[in-house]
Chain A
Amino acid sequence: MAFAAFGHSGSGGKAKNAPASLGSAKVALLLLAPGIAYLSLFFVAPLVSLVITSLQVPSAAGVIGMYDYGFAVGNYAEAVVSYFPQILRSFGYALVATLLALLISYPLAYFIGVKARRWPLLQSLMLTLVIAPFFISFLLRTFAWKQIFSNESWIVQTLQTIGVLDVNQYLVGTDFMVIFGLTYNFIPFMTLPLYSTLERLDIRYIEAGSDLYAKPSKTFWNITLPLSMPGVISGTLLTFIPMAGDYVNASRDFLGSTETTMLGNVVESNFLQTNNYPSASALSVILMSVILLLVTFYVRKSGTEDLL
């Protein structure tokens, strides 16, 4: 996993160095039980609650915002029909932003992981720069972009002057701006896993390619890229998931408008503002199902040991 690779060596934990004398099942159980119980109670059970809530029906008493237990599978159909554009936008934005993040991150990760290999301190300082955006509040850095691209900003003024934008056309509130924000905010999640596979890549394979008179582009497509596939897969997974569920970038007060609402925005407003819990839950379950499909694909590809 990306996070394990950052700053530490080694992953893919096999219990190689487990001393036999330590390995009693009782101790293992004692160590695991509290944390696993915690996750069962506050991660698994809530997912079940979400499914139960998504099937609820409006209360018989007719009180708005109150629901009775039921089996209203129709809630899902209703949610998909009413929020189809938002669902499409969530996955569409996330897909485009993931690809952009991959394109931007790959050369950077290659530079840090392969070219800068001889200078470990420089390498780790550059990695710090990659994760630097994480140290400043997510909301503050997103808001900064809003100000930088605001309607009165010189960027927008210039684009209007040279005719890229019409006179009354702006950037904030557009698809472009939301995708821009998503790309920026999740780039480190892409760069880190790419870095961690490229860092371990045996440079002799690439040299062999050029020794055999392969064109650099051929070496890249036939050697470098296939060898860095694990990083590409986990990077795309790690960026796509939070992007698809994000709602801050698309929010009206940040980079979006009413034209850019995503699934997350709908879940937030249905859950916290209009108290339409079944609809919000159904949408969450849909989002989670898509993510689970992706994770399953990932596990098939690389097995569960590499997950953590």
Chain B
Amino acid sequence: MKNFSLGKYALPLYSLLAFVYLLIPIAYTFVFSFNDYVKSNIAWRGFTLDNWIYVCNEQGVCEAFTNSILIGLISTFFATVLGTMIAIALVRYRFKFRSAISLLLFLPMATPEVVLGAGLAAQFLSTGTPKGMGTIIIAHIMFCLSFVVVTVKARVISLDASLEEAGRDLYASPAQVFWKITLPLLMPGIAAAALLSFALSFDDFIITIFNAGPESTFPRFVYTAAARGIPAEANVIGMSVFLLAIAIVVSVQVRGSLKAKRLAKIK
């Protein structure tokens, strides 16, 4: 790499600039969540906390938010259960059609959202299924599933099989081994997968719009509002979700690093 000769500072400086670039729209959204706007939240008109305190005063935004949370929770539950089962099977068992199944699991991640959305919508159309919350949830489980498999699979691979063997040596039944040893050990991976799945579902717009009935979701609310300017209350909700997600991820990382340090000391 160039930086070996170009001095120590080029690459760190570049990375700093890259991070600034990545964070600009987030900073913008944050700042304008405090804007004392009147009709459209475009020009800065002064600082206020009202958007944060009276979020639900903006018509429709909280209903959309509640719908998104509900859809996210239900789809995450099903996607996580189905995906974890597949991940365990993929690592622990040998079976035929292994590469066909890998491909089937990979393809939904490689398919553009508009194709996934239009495909399901075409299917609902030809089977005469009315679109609504149910069809949105069906769609979300479908596209979250593969991401769960990928995330949990990594955890299953790194699992120490000797712990389960110890359980069996002590005459634990297969069910006991699974519930008392395997599942708790997999929990960090499953939790990460569930978080990812929820985030994907919560933020999905394209697949949702193809398979939604009249009900609004948060991204749908934002999209519709975009034509006339997005209200600051939507920024408030977006930022709250952002801050919560960052807090969770960073605390997990800091805990992990403290744990690693403690382990290093023991050794």
Residues of chain A whose beta carbon lies under 8 Å from any beta carbon of chain B:
1, 3-5, 7-11, 13, 15, 17-19, 21-25, 27-29, 31-32, 34-36, 38-40, 42-47, 49-50, 52-53, 104, 107-108, 110-112, 115, 120-121, 124-126, 128-130, 132-145, 147-148, 150, 152, 184, 187, 206, 210, 216-217, 219-220, 224, 237, 241-242, 244-248, 253-254, 263-264, 267-268, 271-272, 277, 280-281, 284, 287-288, 291, 295, 299, 304-305, 307-308
Contact = CB atoms under 8 A, between A and B. Distances in A.
Given A22-B93, A132-B246, A254 B15 contact: no
Given A10-B157, A36-B101, A38-B145, A43 B116 contact: yes
B226 A32 contact: no
A304 B223 contact: no
Contact of A43 (B24, B108, B122): B108
Contacts of B139: 42
B254 A9 contact: no
Contacts of A124: 253, 256-257
A253 B110 contact: no
Nearest to B135: A42
B181 interface: no
A27 B115 contact: no
A144 B25 contact: yes
A86 B1 CA distance: 39
Given A10-B154, A128-B246, A308 B149 contact: yes
A307 B94 contact: no
A282 B171 CA distance: 59
Nearest to A207: B4
Nearest to A146: B226
Contacts of B156: 13
Contact of A107 (B4, B11, B145): B11
A135 B146 CA distance: 19
Interface residues of B, number: 113
Given A17-B157, A31-B85, A152-B43, 5 more contacts: A138-B205, A140-B238, A143-B222, A246-B113, A253-B226
Interface residue SS majority, chain B: helix
B112 A13 contact: no
B62 interface: no
B250 A36 contact: no
A272 B115 contact: no
A136 B239 contact: yes
Given A144-B28, A280-B118, A281-B118, A137 B222 contact: yes
A38 B82 contact: yes
Interface residue SS majority, chain A: helix
B45 interface: no
Given A7-B192, A15-B93, A137-B238, A50 B118 contact: yes
A24 B95 CA distance: 9
Contacts of B242: 132, 135-136
Contact of B114 (A13, A52, A132, A268): A268
Interface of B: 1-6, 11-12, 14-15, 18-19, 21-26, 28-29, 32, 42-43, 82-83, 85-86, 88-95, 99, 101-108, 110-116, 118-123, 125-126, 138-139, 141-142, 145-147, 149-151, 153-161, 164-165, 168, 174, 189, 192, 196, 199, 203, 205-206, 209-210, 218-219, 222-223, 226-227, 230, 234-235, 238-239, 241-242, 245-246, 249-250, 253-254, 256-257, 260
Contacts of B246: 128, 132, 135
B91 A133 contact: no
A184 B94 CA distance: 41
Nearest to A34: B82
28 contacts: A3-B147, A4-B153, A10-B158, A18-B94, A18-B161, A19-B165, A23-B93, A35-B82, A42-B139, A46-B116, A49-B119, A111-B15, A115-B3, A125-B253, A128-B246, A137-B222, A137-B241, A139-B223, A144-B28, A144-B32, A147-B42, A152-B43, A219-B4, A253-B226, A271-B118, A272-B209, A281-B122, A308-B149
Given A125-B250, A147-B28, A272-B209, A107 B104 contact: no
Report which residue of A15, A115, A134, A246 has the largest number of chain B beta carbons within 10 angstroms of its beta carbon.
A15
Contact of A308 (B153, B168, B257): B153
Report which residue of B29, B121, B154, B205 has the largest number of chain A beta carbons within 10 angstroms of its beta carbon.
B154
Nearest to B100: A304
